[in-house]
Amino acid sequence: MSAPAPRPRVRADIDRAFLEDVVAGLSATPKTLPSKYFYDAAGSELFERICELPEYYPTRTERALLQQHADAMADALGPRVLLIEPGAGSGEKTQLLLQALDRPAAYVPVDISGEYLAEVAHGWRSQFPHIEVLPVAADFTQAFSVPRVTATPSRRVVFFPGSTLGNFEPSAARQLLSAFRKLAGEGGRLLLGVDLQKDVSILERAYDDAAGVTAAFNRNLLMRINRELGGRFDLDSFAHVARYDDTHHRIEMHLRSTRDQVVSVAGTAVRFRSGETIHTENSYKYTPESVRALAAAAGWRAQARWLDPDCWFGVFLFAA
């Protein structure tokens, strides 16, 4: 068994919430880490690579739905909407919707990675000079303020594509949709992308690709802890694991320790047994009926839905 590393020097500008969440998660049984911390600049870039992998069907399936039905979605949303996108990332699919919308009042991309968001927002302003782009660097699971918009919008629309809802436990997903209901306000709309239940082999390949990009994305969380929190993780001693839990209808991602070891994080010693895992992410898979019920419990009324021919993915429209 490795001896604990000397107490590292921790940066003065350390993100205390990140540190507290990491120490709490690694001290729990079983060990966990919040998936929202995947998305530093490197993690965001790795996720964009994942979205283009042949095994990762959600992005291309949702993109095809938007390419085919963006005009119908825009008609249903109406003119002069204020489009708010929590967890915007590159916003690549948003381009299809913005092009279809009738005179959108503004676009508000929200992302936890401020550096990455600034880059993306610059591109949006160049591509859509007629649309006011107002980026917000924030954790969208917490309350945030929407900037003042120059034009008067007809309504707010929360656009939440990419099946991110599946990363939340069902109770937390309901709370998130309730927060979106408050964010949208009276007369608001929610356009929601959701990954649907399907054959297990398709799901597990999507989260454990042959090129190892998802494994690198998972391990990047440990690299971030090393860089920002003075962690001493040996990345080669943790293996990426993706498995489907049929009881809960979810993919689970883990990092499995390949040996007995002790890892120091900001001076806290964390012991691992060989084979012990850190649970880093869930991705729940829904049915159209369960999506509707979840949204209804959060104060949303179903208006329309668009499904691909195989019913692998759906985009759902709800009214407040």
* Residue whose token pair is 């990426």: 240
Q: Give the pLDDT score at 9.
A: 43
Q: What is the DSSP letter of 120?
A: H
pLDDT at 128 over 50: yes
Q: Give the pLDDT score at 113.
A: 81
Q: Is the peptide bond before 30 cis (omega within 30 degrees of 0)?
A: yes
pLDDT in tens, 203-230: 999 999 999 999 999 999 999 999 999 9
Least confident of 87-91, 178-182, 218-222, 294-298: 87-91
110: nearest Cα among 82, 147, 78, 139:
139
Secondary structure of 227-254 as H, E, C letters: HHHCCCCCHHHEEEEEEEECCCCEEEEE
Q: Give the pLDDT score at 122.
A: 87
* Residue 91 binned pLDDT confidence (cut-offs 50, 70, 90): confident
pLDDT at 5 over 50: no
pLDDT in tens, 107-122: 999 998 888 888 888 8
pLDDT at 6 over 50: no
Q: Give the pLDDT score at 13.
A: 52
Q: Give the pLDDT score at 12.
A: 46
* Residue 4 binned pLDDT confidence (cut-offs 50, 70, 90): very low
* Residue 246 binned pLDDT confidence (cut-offs 50, 70, 90): very high
* Residue whose token pair is 């949208």: 184
* Residue 14 binned pLDDT confidence (cut-offs 50, 70, 90): low
Residues of the chain with pLDDT > 90, as a percent, come to 86
- Where in the chain are the domains? 16-33+202-284, 57-198+286-319
CA 152 to chain centre: 29
Q: Tell me the CB-side half-sphere exposure of residue 21, using CA atoms within 13 A.
A: 14
Q: Taking the model in full, what pTM does it have? A: 0.88
pLDDT in tens, 161-189: 999 999 999 999 999 999 999 999 999 99
Q: Give the pLDDT score at 208.
A: 98
Q: Give the pLDDT score at 7.
A: 37
Mean pLDDT confidence for 292-319: 98
Give CA–CA dist 212/147, Å, rounded: 39
pLDDT in tens, 139-148: 999 999 999 9
Contacts of 201 (CB under 8 A, 6+ apart): none
**What is the fold of 57-198+286-319?**
Rossmann fold (3.40.50)
